[in-house]
Amino acid sequence: MNKTMLASALLCGSALAMTGCQTVENQMQTGNPLNQPALKSTIKTVDGKEKEVGQMFLRPVDGGVQVYGKLMNLQPGKTVALHIHETGSCADMGKAAGGHFNPDNKPHSNPDDMNGHAGDLPNLTANEDGVATINYVNKKISAAEAGKYSVNRLAFIVHANADDYKSQPAGNAGDRVACGIIEKA
Ligand SMILES: [Cu+2]
Ligand SMILES: [Zn+2]
């Protein structure tokens, strides 16, 4: 039994929720058993206070990049947009991050639409504690250090409102409220 199988057996046999077990099994199937994110981002408010409000991680998996993490300090029940923007700067209240990451010059769309922006992601909805999580496989980006589809050194932007997945160029998601530079984990 190699280390990976042992880790899986331990987790699956523990009192952890079933999802924890399945996650480890999925990781084994994807050939990236160590659960090491390649990239990460600390999300901070852009109101000048730079208060940390979340963490995001990116990990290569079969057919794409798993984007996972959480946002905190949201209004309970609130749904907000999260995107990867094309420039790795959070200056000027997040405006310096530019538009959505769009290496193939596509329109803004639903994140599952292969004909949409590579930086489009699903909306997040806060629970009663104001915490929202994401766990999504983006098939249009790379977690490599560089390259046309790499999101290394780009930026996450959290908006004040939900993305409608159709308005151009950015889903009518409202003001930029938080931002994080994506960097090597
Ligand atoms: Cu955005
Ligand atoms: Zn977009």
Q: Give the Å distance between the CA of 183 and the centre of ligand 2.
A: 21
Q: Give the Å distance between the CA of 105 and the centre of ligand 2.
A: 10
Same domain, yes or no, for 154 and 180? Answer: yes
Q: Give the Å distance between the CA of 184 and the centre of ligand 1.
A: 21
Split into its structural domains, the chain has a count of 2
Same domain, yes or no, for 27 and 65? Answer: no
Same domain, yes or no, for 61 and 129? Answer: yes
Under a CB-based contact definition with an 8 Å cutoff, are residues 75 and 53 in contact? no
- Record the tokens describing residue 30, joined without a space: 């994807």
Torsion of CA 82, 88, 90, 96, to 10 degrees: -100
Same domain, yes or no, for 1 and 75? Answer: no
| Beta strand pairing call for 64-71 and 52-61 | antiparallel
Residue 145 amino acid letter: E
- In angstroms, the CA 89 to CA 51 distance is 16
Tokens 């599952």 sit at which residue? 112
Q: Give the Å distance between the CA of 48 and the centre of ligand 2.
A: 25
The three-point CA angle 115-86-74 to 5° equals 95
Q: Summarize pLDDT for 69-111 with one digit per residue, the tens.
A: 999 999 999 999 999 999 999 999 999 999 999 999 999 999 9
Percentage of the chain lying above the pLDDT 90 cut:
81
- In angstroms, the CA 80 to CA 113 distance is 19
Same domain, yes or no, for 22 and 92? Answer: no
Ligand number, closest to the Cα atom of 106:
2
Task: Supply the CATH number for residue 106's domain.
Answer: 2.60.40.200
Q: Give the Å distance between the CA of 30 and the centre of ligand 1.
A: 29
Q: Give the Å distance between the CA of 37 and the centre of ligand 1.
A: 22
Tell me, rounded to whole angstroms, the distance of Cα 67 from its chain centroid. 4
Same domain, yes or no, for 25 and 108? Answer: no
Q: Give the Å distance between the CA of 38 and the centre of ligand 2.
A: 23
Under a CB-based contact definition with an 8 Å cutoff, are residues 116 and 108 in contact? yes
Same domain, yes or no, for 64 and 128? Answer: yes
Residue 13 amino acid letter: G
Rounded to an integer, the average pLDDT of 14-39 is: 49
Q: In whole numbers, what is the pLDDT of the chain averaged over residues? A: 86
Q: Give the Å distance between the CA of 12 and the centre of ligand 1.
A: 37
Same domain, yes or no, for 122 and 144? Answer: yes
Same domain, yes or no, for 6 and 63? Answer: no
Same domain, yes or no, for 16 and 54? Answer: no
Q: pLDDT higher for 119 or 23?
A: 119
Same domain, yes or no, for 152 and 79? Answer: yes
Instruction: Mention every residue, 6+ apart, whose C-beta is less than 8 A from residue 144.
Output: 38, 60, 150, 152
Q: Summarize pLDDT for 101-144 with one digit per residue, the tens.
A: 999 999 999 999 999 999 999 999 999 999 999 999 999 999 99
Q: What pLDDT sits at residue 36?
A: 85
Q: Give the Å distance between the CA of 112 and the centre of ligand 1.
A: 16
Domain that holds residue 127: 36-184
Q: Give the Å distance between the CA of 107 and the centre of ligand 2.
A: 7
Same domain, yes or no, for 19 and 73? Answer: no
